[in-house]
Amino acid sequence: MRDGGPVRERHPVVPVRSLARVSTPPPAAVRLRQAAFELFEQQGYEATTVDQIADRAGVGRSTFFRTFGSKEDVIFPEHSAVLSSVGDRLAAAGRRSATDPAVVPEAAADAARIVLRHYLAEGEVARARYRLTRSIPLLRAREIAQQQQYMQEFRTALRAWTGEPAGADLRAELMAASIVVGHNHVLRRWLRGAVDDAAAEAELDEAMALVTTVHRRPAGANASTVLVIGSDQDPAAVAATVRRALSAGPASSAPE
């Protein structure tokens, strides 16, 4: 306590260079975001107005709304771009999954790494956001909604690996949830300063390996089983028969 009033906890001011590391937004966006986080740290999120943010950034109110749709958008400006990158990585794996199903869990791990590296690149911005989302229910709700969007991307992609149809994709949903939980566990440790960037990446690799081990691909998911028995036929003829059976699908059998 000081002079009869509470002492507000001080956090490092978010440097502009941290804001510009992932992408290169227009100068107005950089100034607005810098001003917003400074004000949020100094006087609280709810007490800060759009006018105050614009004034500190040296721009008009109309410029703020051309740059960000709302005060909350200043907190999560890169979400759509990161989600799109995740979707692109998973979609690329999906196009190859018919011939190489193993690419799907590998791509899911890569996609989780895309998200983690975005936070690592933000540095103190990410930690400032973490403090805000822990204390402001509105921001926490938005963050949870964004996590659901990531999980939906993972679930849709993983159906190609589990062989489940949409609407009956429990295994894919469980694995998607595990990926998000594993990522968030590592991210929280980094946000709290328990690990540095390199350790966070290593821990994410371990988490994704654990997810893949726990959620092994179910037998029979878009797969075929070949039974090998003795035969007097020429090997080339046997191979041709097997190829025909595989091409015809799992319900067919080799001719007598």
Angle made by CA atoms 17, 20, 21, in degrees to the nearest 5: 85
From residue 83, how far is each of 59, 80, 131, 240 by CA, in Å? Answer: 29, 5, 22, 45
* 151-190 per-position pLDDT tens digit: 999 999 999 888 899 889 999 999 999 999 999 999 999 9
Distance CA 180, CA 175 (A): 9
Angle made by CA atoms 31, 35, 38, in degrees to the nearest 5: 140
* Cβ-proximal residues to 109 (8 Å cutoff; 6+ apart), any chain: 179, 205, 208, 209, 211, 212
Cβ distance 103 to 93 under 8 Å?
yes
Give strand pairing partners of 5. Answer: 2
* Cβ-proximal residues to 163 (8 Å cutoff; 6+ apart), any chain: 218, 220, 221, 222, 223
- Residue 58 region, left (φ>0) first, then alpha (ψ -120 to 50), else beta? left
Cβ distance 16 to 34 under 8 Å?
yes
Distance CA 6, CA 8 (A): 6
From residue 17, how far is each of 55, 173, 194, 212 by CA, in Å? Answer: 21, 38, 23, 36
Give strand pairing partners of 2. Answer: 5
Cβ distance 151 to 84 under 8 Å?
no
Question: For the chain, what percent of residues have pLDDT higher than 90?
Answer: 64
From residue 218, how far is each of 39, 215, 246, 252 by CA, in Å? Answer: 51, 8, 19, 21
Decide if pLDDT at 193 tops 80. Answer: yes
Q: Long-range contacts: 198-206, Cβ < 8 Å, 24+?
A: 200/116, 200/120, 201/113, 201/116, 201/117, 201/120, 204/112, 204/113, 204/116, 205/109
- Which range, of 51-55, 98-102, 167-171, averages the lowest pLDDT? 98-102
> In degrees rounded to 5, what are phi and psi of residue 168?
-135, 45
Is residue 238 exposed (0-12), middle (13-18) or buried (19+ Cβ within 10 Å)?
Answer: middle
Tell me the pLDDT band of 58, cut-offs 50, 70 and 90: very high
Q: What integer is the mean pLDDT of 26-38?
A: 89
**What pLDDT sits at residue 234?**
67
Quote the tokens at residue 106.
């590998």
* 217-239 per-position pLDDT tens digit: 655 555 444 455 555 666 666 56
